[in-house]
């Protein structure tokens, strides 16, 4: 005789869903929320948002999206794996609809800038909500709650990311009827998400990206929301659906394998640069979130600096997230900085280089290298021609192909001195 299954309470159902979701290797919790690159890009995106504000205030924001600092920032967000895929759609200029009207209307442009500036300067939920309401009052055509995706990277504990899948997930989980494109609906959803997050704080996080990822996976159909009533048949069906999530499709497994291969290659290139830098007599810094990665018979950070020299002052936070940094043994001056871009967008690496470049005291005399596969030269060159990256281009950022590094690193380490050998095998673009 089949044993009766007692219905779970709504809270217990949500707990079970969250536990399964966190254990799922292909859900957003593990593929995005715990992804090391997620936190690595927060500071650079915030810097980019501040640059947008400065351009609006100075009247140099322009009237096109392509090639603008806004495109650079939004593209950096959109590459944050699946949860932000398509984040740029809301900001693309649609001339027939004349939306979003921040490119042709200076008043609307300034209202957008005031929102970003106010949120960057405040630290309370009340101030963020007030800034949103002020923008809503401006009634900027086509500029809706998708802006929350920018605000999230300023205040991840106060602002919930927003897209179609997150809204669908929230409605399915709570029985709400939140609609896209309306700030009042977004603020209502935010209140509900905050309560939901508080109810399950021990399983989620202060960072609202976690609960947003859960809602995204529900809304995109990866999980069914638990039934909102004590329905035994529905509860059994829901629990069976959760169990089936463990059985991944072949396509998902291949994608996961490719991502792991990419991470391994990225670490290998960092290891080459680490060993080469040490062989040339430099002190080496490995990005703080990569130091503990397995490499050969030890860790990637073995033999490298434990902390950055105090002489770096305010620029230290920028430097500590760059993949590999070489510093002179005497004095601790930054001699070279390397960003490894294996298969992901070139955007993030250049943005971090821009972050370093803006710390002018550190950038002076520093040679910057983008290290990428041999077949990505044209892509690197194309991105460096963007107006938003003009500051980095002025500093002579160089492209160092994998093949040249692979073929010459042993000889350089044995016979080379200083940066001259790397200048010989790299290219100015």
Residue 234 pLDDT more than 80?
no
* Phi and psi angles of residue 327, each rounded to the nearest 5 degrees, phi first: -125, 145
Which two structure tokens, joined as six digits, stand for 359?
A: 């710390």
The C-alpha atoms of residue 299 and residue 294 are separated, in whole angstroms, by 5
Residue 284 pLDDT more than 80?
yes
Q: What is the pLDDT of residue 79?
A: 81
Q: What is the pLDDT of residue 400?
A: 93
- Residues 85-115: tens digit of each pLDDT: 888 889 999 988 889 999 999 899 999 999 9
The C-alpha atoms of residue 387 and residue 97 are separated, in whole angstroms, by 26
Residue 412 pLDDT more than 80?
yes
Furthest C-alpha separation in the chain: 79
Residue 242 binned pLDDT confidence (cut-offs 50, 70, 90): very low
Candidates 244, 276, 363; CA nearest to 312 is 363
Q: What is the pLDDT of residue 251?
A: 42
The full length of the chain comes to: 429
Mention every residue, 6+ apart, whose C-beta is less than 8 A from residue 6.
none
Cα dist from 186 to 166, 330, 427, whole Å: 11, 54, 48
Residue 384 pLDDT more than 80?
no
């Amino acid at each position: 005789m089949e044993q009766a299954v007692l219905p779970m309470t709504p809270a217990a159902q949500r707990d079970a869903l969250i536990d399964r979701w966190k254990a799922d290797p292909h859900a957003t919790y593990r593929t995005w929320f715990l992804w090391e690159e997620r936190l690595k890009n927060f500071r650079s995106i915030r810097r980019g948002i501040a640059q947008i504000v400065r351009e609006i205030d100075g009247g140099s924001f322009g009237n096109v999206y392509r090639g603008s600092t806004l495109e650079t920032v939004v593209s950096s967000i959109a590459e944050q794996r699946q949860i932000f895929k398509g984040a740029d759609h809301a900001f693309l200029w649609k001339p027939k609809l004349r939306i979003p009207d921040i490119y042709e209307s200076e008043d609307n442009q300034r209202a957008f800038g005031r929102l970003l500036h106010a949120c960057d300067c405040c630290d309370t939920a009340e101030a963020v909500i007030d800034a949103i309401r002020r923008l809503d009052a401006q009634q900027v055509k086509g500029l809706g709650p998708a802006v929350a995706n920018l605000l999230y990277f300023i205040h991840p504990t106060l602002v919930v990311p927003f897209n179609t899948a997150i809204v669908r997930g929230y409605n399915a989980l709570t029985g709400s009827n939140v609609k896209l494109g309306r700030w009042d609906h977004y603020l209502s959803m935010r209140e509900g998400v905050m309560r939901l997050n508080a109810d399950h704080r021990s399983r989620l996080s202060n960072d609202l990206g976690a609960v947003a990822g859960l809602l995204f996976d529900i809304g995109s159909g990866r999980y069914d929301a638990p039934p909102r009533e004590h329905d035994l048949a529905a509860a059994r069906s829901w629990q069976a659906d959760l169990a089936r999530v463990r059985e991944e499709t072949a396509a998902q497994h291949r994608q996961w394998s490719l991502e792991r291969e990419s991470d391994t290659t990225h670490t290998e290139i960092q290891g080459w640069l680490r060993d080469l830098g040490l062989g040339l007599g430099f002190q080496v810094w490995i990005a703080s979130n990569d130091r503990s990665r397995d490499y050969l018979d030890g860790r990637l950070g073995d033999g490298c600096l434990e902390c950055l020299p105090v002489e770096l002052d305010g620029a230290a936070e920028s430097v500590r997230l760059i993949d590999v940094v070489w510093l002179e043994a005497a004095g601790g001056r930054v001699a070279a900085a390397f960003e490894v871009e294996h298969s992901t967008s070139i955007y993030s690496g250049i943005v971090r280089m821009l972050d370093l470049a803006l710390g002018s005291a550190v950038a002076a005399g520093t040679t910057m290298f983008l290290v990428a596969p041999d077949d990505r030269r044209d892509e690197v060159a194309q991105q460096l021609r963007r107006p938003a990256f003009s500051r980095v281009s002025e500093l002579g950022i160089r492209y160092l192909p994998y093949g040249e590094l692979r073929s010459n690193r042993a000889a350089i380490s044995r016979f080379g001195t200083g940066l001259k050998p790397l200048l010989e095998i790299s290219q100015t673009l």
